Structure 1
Amino acid sequence: MSHPQGHLQSGEIAIIGRRSLLASAAALGGAAALGSASGASAAPDSAEAAGTGVADGGAGTPLSFAVVTDTHATSPDTTRTELLRRIFAAIEKATPDFVLNCGDITEYGGDDEFQTYLSVIPPALRPRLRHVPGNHEARWDVHAKELYHRLFGPTPYSFDVAGLHVVGLDPTQVLQEPGVFGRDHLRWLANDLRQAGQQPSLLFLHYPIGGANYYVNDQDELLDLLADFPVRAIFAGHVHTERVDRINQLTQVAAYATKDAYYYWVRREVVDRLPVLRVWQVTVAPDGSEQRREVTTIPVADAGVGVAAAATVVGQPKGAAIAVRVRPGQPDAVAAVQTRIYPQHVYGGRDTSAWTDLPRVGDQWWDGNVDISAVPPGAHRLQVRVTGSDGSWHEVTRAFEIAPGDQDPRERWGLRLTGSVQGALAAYGDLIVAGSTGGDVEAFRVGRPADADEQAFRNHPAPRTAWRTRLGGTYRGSAFTGDGRTVLIGSTDHHLYALDTRDGAPRWRHRTEEPVLSNPLVAIIGGVETVLFTAGFTLYALEAATGRVRWTADLHGFFAGRVACDGERVYAGSGDGKAYAFDAATGHELWSYATNTRTTPYQRLIYGPWDNVVTLLPGGLVLVSTVSNAHALDRATGAQRWRVSGGFAYAPPVVTASGLVLIDEFGRARRVDPLTGAQAWLTQLGLRVFNAGPVVRGNTIWVPTATGQLVGLALASGEVTHRVALTTANTFSTPVVVDDLLVSGDQSGVVRGIALP
């Protein structure tokens, strides 16, 4: 439940390089330095054992702590570095019992940025810091959070201090912007809070939850879980502004960014014989002087704060409406009961759109109907909010489904892997391979067995597992060799694996210095089948049959996409903002093309082709895309031949006989001439699209959106022909099509077989 924090001793931070920082993490204080140990570790007997220096004397013991968030340390910005140094010096002077950092510690998780952050913390304060990562530690992290955990310890974790149970949560996702807890994280939390008993608990994490916040896709499951435990406060960051919400009988404080000269001071006091946490915002001036403003008071007594939970009954959809009945726990304290369809279209952001008021019927019930006429068939959620006369509210979410029509895509089957299915699926014939962030790799067949009755198979189709194996986490897809006998897949355990497709046994494996966070490509180079992939800043070319290294090349930056190869040259993007071509036979760098003119490493990275499926086009062109443009470059020279504006970095493009299909991250799909970039049609999907690329079957393009919908477009015109909500989970995995079956994975770990019309 709770666990000790290691102490970083004075003088242990040295000036060290990008690679040596990872190798030397133990020298910074070990696995628990400045952070937490594993959630499985035994609880210390006291807060002093947890390194806070405060005895666990119960709710009456004096207690004060600081909260920081969004420090965004980065070595090029010396002004910010000195500001952070000033902030932490002020905190040290205030002598807190502990300090919580709610994430976005750095700009992009760079080794030098962690070094900069560590350098601004006074040695005496270091043992009292507790961290959780933000999306800036996960989105562009070449180490897949490995360095973070070596410096600050595993997540999630908890510790007890003076009668307060403190829990650090981590819903961040490697290579992604929004958050998700997942089943294992929530299971751990339920067990942790159960062990804490009736101690009041405080949570801290990067993203604020509930209300208008939709940064964590399964936050509704977190709120349901918390209803059974005395959680009284949440501290969060991410939004760089201050918001206080009284939600579900707890108080959430979203804080201003510390990089803007703020921190928060929290002190436990007793008011009217009940313990409370008083919260102040503290501004630190350049001369070190402070100005304090009280923000809120958080009750931590057993009753919590605000309006109580409500019984909610959601009916089955009938026609264009769904019935809702709500009975609040304190009817006389209710100011309003409202409902709406969960804004699934919101991707890692806020939503303040309108709610529907439910009328009161009798003394205890509110009920009414919700219009679902514009909602596509499939899986959905309904939100209910009960607002009290004191401005607090209690919200619950309920799932419902709208049955598909005869001409809609329809789910045939589903299977679940541990973690998330984030990487693209791969297919060879009817054999499909899926990998998960939890380390599962499963191969299954979806075609009708030769000895099976055709009608019986149509009535009860199901995938047949060919084999399963366990590796480190996989965040990108796999690739088959030309004969289909081997599948190549990268892992965060620093290996590229070549697995026998008959039984999943390793044919060979190659160890890399960094986690493999790219999608491998199999190409013929000089008559030899070669697998091309990246890990960290390095591009690798290995013999597909043996794993022997043919060559390696320096990419000068992080690349998490997939390279392209025409047999003569290998083309790749890079986190330094450039696209590169290498001699396919030797790995010698041939040319580079700057996709942006940004001036800092962070900006060159995020505005560059760091996570792009580089694609060969006809006419001797290669396509490299960023969040600003799609660039068609001459393969021989790197000269730009045409450009289309838009954020095309993430969704893989598709070359068809009719033209090139591009989809930007805001769901604008278009077909263009691959030789000139001239547009044939443009369609607004109205939904975000990330990493999950379109697939083509017949005359229809099937587009999986980041928010779980599958959209069908006519290839000829771009007209939307179908919409179905496959899941309420985020989807980043490119599907595959086998005959009339589309197979798709999502961030809940589910792989689905969808019958296409």
Structure 2
Amino acid sequence: MRLIFTVAFALLANVAGAQYKGKVFLDENKNKTWDAGEKGMKDVSVSDGQNVLKTDMNGNFSLPGHTKNRFIFVTVPAGYKLSAKHYLKIEDKVEAYNFGLLPDPTSAGSSVKMLQITDTETDKYNDWITNLKNFSKNQEVSFIVHTGDICYEKGLNFHANQVTPEALGKQIFYCIGNHDLVKGAYGEELFESLFGPVYYSFDAGPAHFIVTPMRSGDVQPSYTVDEVISWMKNDLAATDKNKPVIIFNHDLLTYNDQFVLKGKNDSINLNENNLKAWVYGHWHNNFVRKSDKTGIQYVSSAAPSMGGIDNSAGQFLSIEIDKDGVKEIKPHYTYLHDHLVVNSPNGSDMIIVKDGNLMISANIYDTENVVKSAKSIIYDEKGNQIAVSALTANTDWSWYGKVPAAKITKGKSYMIQTEVTYDGGRVHIEKQAFILPVNARMGMSSNSGLHSAASIGSVESNQGKATALALKWVNNIKGSIWKGSPLLAEGKLFVATIDDANNLQCGISALDPITGKILWHYKTRNSIKHTLADERGIILGTDMEGFTYALKPDNGALIWKKDLGMKTLPGYISGGIADKGIYYTGSGSYLQALEVATGKTIWINKDWTGGEGTPEKMTMAGEVLITGSNWQSLFGHDRKTGKLLWKRSDEGLRFRSSTGIYKGGKVYITGLNAIFILDPLTGKNIDKIEGTYDFKVMATPLITDQHLIMPTSTNGVVAYDLKTLKEVWNRPTGNALVYSAPYTGPGAATVESTVVKYGNDLLFAASDGHLYVINEKSGEVLQKLNLGAPVFADPALNGKQLFLADFAGNVYGFEIK
């Protein structure tokens, strides 16, 4: 039950002679000034930073002030927006603190839509700002919240000038982050001069929203937690206790179920005040969780301006709030405009005929608009329309359709024109040519090139011929795929999906590797970010909340499920490894070895904790288990006991994302901008490649007979001579469609997916949405296929089969010709 505190003492200020008077009014002429005849707004909460009271029937108020008051601010009521700012600085010359309101239909009604941005950390203008502006306009967003780390003096001044209500066309409310507490008379001085008070509230739709500050940061603030608590109690006392409460802060208050804010002398239990969600940033990752016990949602996003610290995709969130709290969350990946790629049919290598139909697969995305519908029209060489197919959405990227293959003649050229209609009515069109090969099967399916998956992991030689790929099937598994690479095991293909918004589409899916048919799907409670493991006929994976699942491969039945005991952030995004009947998974204080058959804990790490999530997969180097924590250390453990053998945090090894590889008694692993060759028993350097590249990607180094090959964050793929460690070639890729590598943005040619070798050639997919075949010796591009969605997951190679999964949720089966 909401804590009840009287506000009568504030109302008595009228009698006692208040220091700060003013009016809340309907600014009918929009001049930001109260003019005689303009209606006062009653029952609007106003505050001096401690006291909270409601305006009288004429919109007037009088506040007593307090010893540390610096602002008078208003709680904007639902159905309205401000004609100026939500705050006024207290100054001797000010006689009246008046706040003008304007009607705002987007803030009224039974639900309201908002956007969250966070950790933008920039003083440069870029398209993500335009994305916000246009999306807000197109989708009738009510307001935008920035949950902090605007970042340092330059960033704070830039946002105050460029990321404003005037620039965006929407109200924007700022939280103060740890890097926004900067040098001055006190830590929040600059923030206050630009954005006003560090804690305040407003209403929109059915909900009450509260902005709260960081406890501390780079410079000590002048406010105390007790002062924030005192104000919050008064603010909530003046609020309808039935309203759902949404709190914004730069960081999460607690990972526990009870949200109790404690100061030195005071505390407040927010669970008793109808708290429904805590929206935050700080961790630079994408993570949403809902408490089983309380229903409170924990909502975090990476920055819209760049990739996340843990390689999370750059995005902003749209969040819809109703009377029950969070109704729906949607991620929106920045910098994409009218992105439309039909990856099948495309040319002659990307074309599928199945069950007598020509299958159409398109990846469509626009940051600023919602796709209402899509259709494809096929024309012959003379321009005659011969077939039309409406496309159906699988995910927020992927759309499928089909037309009768009998209408297509083998060996002739055709044009496919795809039309996308956005919800505002605008239409975007793309055209491309294709040819149905003369050897294409017109019966049940065109999968004759794929064979049994009996010899898992085998690699065949192309006998000196240049490698070429042909698409045999594609299927969408209805959820995004991050680092959950296809796992070929037990005669099936297993893929993990994520849902960093509503936790509905996350899970483990099994597909037929010959046809791509989905055989079963197991729903997990949160996203499984990384590759699954197979050990002794059991499929294993751990989700972002630290729950491990052991499934039967034939039908997806749960064998056992274990809560690893994750009690704090960051969320678990690493990849576990299974070997000799043991599954190694978890991080920090819940890093442990589990018995595969039963889920029983064999050992648990007691030697280290902390850091940020890292998207590496653990490396087994003989008897040493190698794992890490981003911004903390690289660790070597005794695989049998879990005892810590060594750790490295020097030379950039504490800033890492990639998985190491064990070969020839050595571990090859990357740091921030170097490649290390380590002794696994001691963690000491055997050798090192001083890089001119940023290696903070999720990919694993590839070691061939001649080369060490490593993807980069900004420059595609680079090859080094294995003996001399000198650079041999660099193969750039296109600009990433979605930015994931830490702090990367426009201009970054990122490759998050590991390179694999086939014969004399190399195969890899990139964040530019293309699948590449290149020559190992020269780095020359032999084939480049446009998938239309970024690929973060590693490819899986089996004989003449290549399996690949893109971020849009498409799983592909290719034949190597």
TM range (shorter): 0.5 to 0.7
Give the equivalent residue in structure 2 for 1:523: 579
Q: Distance in 1 between matches of 2:417 and 2:627?
A: 39
Determine the structure 2 residue equivalent to 1:84.
Answer: 188
CA contact (8 A) 1:496 1:510 kept: yes
In 2, distance between residues paired with 1:648 and 1:707?
17
In the alignment, what sits opposite 1:492? 544
Q: Is the alpha carbon distance of 1:639 and 1:395 closer, same or farther for their aligned partners in structure 2, counting shifts above 3 Å?
A: farther
Equivalenced residue count is 512
Deviations 1:411-447 (A, max 9, x none): 3322223331112221126411011112231112223
The CA deviation string for residues 126-177 of structure 1, in whole angstroms up to 9 with x for no partner, is 879864989x9679568934499999956699xxxxxxxxxxx999989445
Q: Which residue of 1 aligns with 2:616?
A: 561
Equivalent residue, structure 1, for 2:556: 504
> Is the contact between residue 532 and residue 539 of structure 2 (CA under 8 Å) also seen in structure 1?
yes
Question: Which residue in the other structure is 1:425 paired with?
Answer: 486
2: CA distance, partners of 1:110 / 1:614? 38
Closer/same/farther in 2, CA of residues 56 and 79 from structure 1, 3 Å limit: closer
State whether structure 2 residue 675 is matched by structure 1 residue 630. yes
Quote the offset at 1:79 in angstroms.
Answer: 2.9
Q: Deviations over 1:495-543 (max 9, x none)?
A: 111212122122222212334321111234xxxx322223356432222
Aligned-partner SS, 2:366: helix
> Counterpart in 2 of 1:144?
287
Q: Is the 8 A contact 1:517 1:535 kept in 2?
A: no
CA distance in 2, matches of 1:555, 1:702: 37
For 2:666, the equivalent position in structure 1 comes to: 621
Q: Distance in 2 between matches of 1:589 and 1:156?
A: 32
**TM-score, length-scaled by structure 2:** 0.51
| TM-fit CA distance, 1:488 | 1.1
| C-alpha spacing 1:530/1:103, structure 2 compared with 1 (3 Å) | farther
Superposed CA deviations along residues 359-383 of structure 1, whole A, max 9, x for unmatched, are xxxxxxxxxxxxxxxxxx9999999
Aligned to 1:710: 771
1:649 partnered with 2:754: no
Q: Give identity over the alignment, percent.
A: 17
Distance 1:380 1:497 in 2: 44
Distance 1:636 1:505 in 2: 39
CA shift in 2, pair 1:97/1:446, >3 Å: closer
- In the TM superposition, residue 608 of structure 1 has moved relative to its aligned partner by 3.1
| Aligned residue number for residue 809 of structure 2 | 749
Task: Give the equivalent residue in structure 2 for 1:593.
Answer: 648
* Structure 1 CA distance for aligned equivalents of residues 513 and 560 of structure 2: 27
CA deviation profile, 1:613-643 (whole Å, cap 9, x unmatched): 121132x321221331111112232222222
Report the secondary structure of 2:767's partner residue: coil
**Residue 612 (str. 1) matches residue 643 (str. 2):** no
Point out the structure with max Rg over C-alpha: 2
Q: Structure 1 residues 566 and 536, CA, compared in 2 at 3 Å: closer, same or farther?
A: closer
TM-aligned CA deviation for residue 587 of structure 1:
1.6
Shift of 1:736: 1.4
Q: Is the 8 A contact 2:77 2:202 kept in 1?
A: no
Aligned residue number for residue 473 of structure 1: 526
- For the structure 1 residues 111 and 381, does the alpha-carbon distance in structure 2 shift closer, same or farther, using more than 3 Å as the test? farther
2:702, 2:708 within 8 Å by CA — same for their partners in 1? yes
TM-score by length of 1: 0.54
Residue 583 (str. 1) matches residue 630 (str. 2)? no
**Paired residues for 1:183-194 under 5 Å:** none
Deviation at 1:699, TM superposition (A): 2.8
Distance 1:735 1:9 in 2: 60
The one-letter code of the counterpart of 1:616 is Y
Corresponding position of 1:513: 565
Q: Which letter maps to 1:750? A: N
Greater alpha carbon shift after TM alignment, 703-712 vs 551-560: 551-560
Q: Which moved more, 1:683-692 or 1:59-68?
A: 59-68
The answer to whether the 8 A contact 2:487-2:533 is kept is yes
Q: Could you say which residue in structure 1 is the equivalent of 2:757?
A: 696
**Structure 1 residues 139 and 212, CA, compared in 2 at 3 Å: closer, same or farther?**
farther
* Secondary structure of 2:188's aligned partner: helix
Give the Å deviation of 1:704: 0.8
* Separation (CA, whole Å) in 1 of partners of 2:535 and 2:418: 43
2:781 maps to 720
State whether residues 667 and 685 of structure 1, in contact with CA within 8 Å, keep that contact through their aligned partners in structure 2.
yes
2:524 matched to 1:463? no
1:403 is aligned, of 419, 423, 434, to 434
Q: Secondary structure at the match of 2:682?
A: coil
Q: Contact 2:80/2:101 (CA < 8 Å) preserved in 1?
A: no
- Which residue identity lines up with residue 694 of structure 2 in the other structure? G
Q: Map of 1:330-341 to 2, 5 A cutoff?
A: none
Cα distance change on mapping 1:616 and 1:443 into 2, 3 Å = same
Change (3 A) 1:679 1:436: same
State the AA in 2 paired with 1:470.
K
Q: Using a 3 Å threshold, how does the CA distance of structure 1 residues 315 and 132 change in structure 2: closer, same or farther?
A: farther
Q: Residues 132 and 155 of structure 1 are in contact (CA less than 8 Å); yes or no, is this contact kept in structure 2? A: no
Mapped to 1, the partners of 2:694 and 2:620 lie a distance apart of 23
| Per-residue deviation, residues 468-496 of structure 1 (Å, max 9, x unmatched) | 2111233433344454x111111124211
Report the equivalent of 1:444.
511
Q: Which AA in structure 1 matches 2:679?
A: D
What are the residue-to-residue correspondences of 1:125-136 with 2, within 5 Å? 131=248
CA RMSD of aligned residues (A): 5.8
In the alignment, is the contact (CA less than 8 A) between 1:171 and 1:179 conserved in 2?
yes
Instruction: Give the whole-Å Cα distance in 1 for the aligned partners of 2:772 and 2:369.
Output: 30
Question: Offset of 1:711 from its aligned partner?
Answer: 0.7
Separation in 1, partners of 2:599, 2:286? 23
Per the alignment, residue 352 of structure 2 pairs with none
Contact 1:699 1:715 in 2 (8 A): yes
SS at match of 2:554: coil
1:478 match: secondary structure: coil
- Evaluate the alpha carbon distance shift between residue 441 and residue 683 of structure 1 in structure 2; reply closer, same or farther with a 3 A threshold: same
